[in-house]
Structure 1
């Protein structure tokens, strides 16, 4: 089991909400995501990536993260270069019974069928391009803060594993996620008829600020051209308090203490001494705060000094 932070996964979760549950989004997020889809004419992405009220979107739109943090360009390349047989396999499932169920009278949208006429390779490249534009417009401005929040969540989960054990930590991840008798169960919603059982050697856990329950991503268990490690998306801490797009979330007493110390420039060693912490711990959190745009840093001789954003170095 390992954790991962996924920028393209976060974009996928935001896309799903704005397409099929916009009322659950805070107004700034809803406006930004809707504007991105309409202004850049991302109709195919909305049709395929939103998932639909009757099923789930193709799994290749959420590629398996190869590392703890996969940058957006690498993830988009993974989408664009999805093997043609994998695209064909997953879209066949979507058209024939997942997102658009013939038995219900919901036919596959014409936009999807027209895009498929040009072949699976073109289809994957176009989806990657539209996902990239959606990311740039809707999510990139807030990604440093969101990334910091997700990384802080993973730190919290690692602490829970150390304190309470793996089983208890897994049971704390989401209300519909349960570890029972050696099995990890993702309970579907009351309206879902989709059930899947997998034997797997591992699982990837990735937090998201755009979900309120656990979601499962693994591809089909049989006949999948490119098997992948099962991935479970779970709600990051304080998902109900998602801030407006322009805000930076502050997480935990540790960050508050660090920011309080940074009203003037201080080195990692100095902060560690003042707060009775190890330099490694302070350095780790300062790097997250810096990536989130909450602190600045400047090198003086052989030392790096950090200061809270807004104060002159």
Structure 2
């Protein structure tokens, strides 16, 4: 069990981040053991051929049989707008002693593939991860990022409406918050208790964990948790439409209105409904202009959410 102890000041400093490097590292879990990540099987199938020529030896050396990865692959992002290039620069600057310590914490030793100069091993890791990104992430990252950003917006809305406690108790079945203590039930048998003491607690939504997880060592306070909406990312979604609303708005716009009880971007919605990005944007603008949706910019994305008027329209139909 890992426990983070928050003071009143620490509660105000809880923040969210998105880390491309963290996603890369955690994706090795799904690649290594696909059966444990059924929501990502479509991604694994689509990228299988592209992954055939990667430096598998180096990538495999970054994960153990428990699906743990070293902490240098899980940097704490400063914001939800972190760039992969910046994280690679940070990884390249990892001190040799930190590199060795983090590998030993996972494997109990330094894997043979990384024997010798730590700096040489780190450069090889960065090359292998860059190739993994180019082959398997770059084509799909806008979709993935849209899901992660929508999750952050949803959690922020939860805090505003119901408070921090409700949000923290809802991010994972293995995360609990009570009396100023965030508890994370890990597979690690060791009990750890850390005071935040002004360091801030960072929450990272991710596509590649099924439960709340945390750094292996005693790094900056951070919890990684499963992002909402992953299941809809790879499959075309069919939403049952209220017939009366569909007759007024059309089937596609009624479906979008029904689905937007939670925030989502046009990129994500296009994938979910099998509609081209230009068509989705046209429908979303029409619904927003009619007052049925609201929108907000989040980083490089625009997220849409059903307005009170849109919800009233659906509720009236239901009544």
Above 0.5 in TM-score? yes
CA distance in 2, matches of 1:55, 1:13: 9
Distance 1:47 1:197, change over 3 A: same
Q: How far 1:90 moved relative to its partner?
A: 1.4
- The answer to whether residue 53 in structure 2 is matched with residue 57 in structure 1 is no
Q: Which residue of 1 aligns with 2:142?
A: 144
Closer/same/farther in 2, CA of residues 285 and 263 from structure 1, 3 Å limit: farther
How many residue pairs align between the two structures? 258
Give, in angstroms, the shift of residue 78 of structure 1.
1.4
Q: Give the corresponding residue for 2:220.
A: 229
Deviation (angstroms), 1:127:
1.0
Question: Aligned partners of 1:122, 1:14: CA distance in 2, in Å?
Answer: 23
Looking at both structures, which has the greater relative contact order when contacts are Cα pairs under 8 Å and sequence separation is at least 6? 2
Change in CA separation of 1:165 and 1:143 when aligned onto 2, cut-off 3 Å: same
Structure 2 counterpart of 1:304:
none
Aligned counterparts of 1:275 and 1:7: Cα–Cα separation in 2: 35
**Of residues 229, 248, 260 in structure 2, which corresponds to 1:238?**
229
d(CA) in 1 for partners of 2:231 and 2:287? 32
> Is 1:252 aligned to 2:281, yes or no?
no
Residue 83 of structure 2 corresponds to residue 71 of structure 1:
yes
Q: Distance in 2 between matches of 1:265 and 1:166?
A: 33
SS in 2 for 1:197: strand
Alignment RMSD: 3.5
What does residue range 263-302 of structure 1 map to in structure 2 within 5 Å? 273-275=289-291, 282=295, 284=297, 288-289=301-302
Q: Which residue of 1 aligns with 2:180?
A: 182
Structure 1 residue matching 2:165: 3-state secondary structure:
helix
Q: 1:264 to 1:171 in 2, by over 3 A?
A: closer
- Report deviation, 1:240: 4.0
**TM-score, normalised with respect to structure 1:** 0.70
Contact 2:175 2:182 in 1 (8 A): yes
Distance change in 2, residues 1:286/1:6 (3 Å): closer
Deviations 1:244-273 (A, max 9, x none): 5x99xx86246599999x85987x998755
Kindly report which structure 2 residues correspond to 1:81-160, keeping only aligned pairs within 5 A, or say none. Answer: 81-96=93-108, 112-117=111-116, 119-160=117-158
Conservation of the 8 A alpha-carbon contact between 2:175 and 2:185: yes
Q: Provide the C-alpha distance between the structure 1 equivalents of 2:299 and 2:288, rounded to a whole number of angstroms.
A: 11
Shift of 1:34: 4.4
**Aligned counterparts of 1:23 and 1:263: Cα–Cα separation in 2:** 35
Name the CA shift for 1:265/1:38 in 2 (closer, same or farther; >3 Å): closer
- Over 3 Å counting, the alpha-carbon distance change for 1:23 and 1:183 in structure 2 is closer
Distance 1:283 1:188, change over 3 A: closer
Report what 2:163 is aligned to: 165
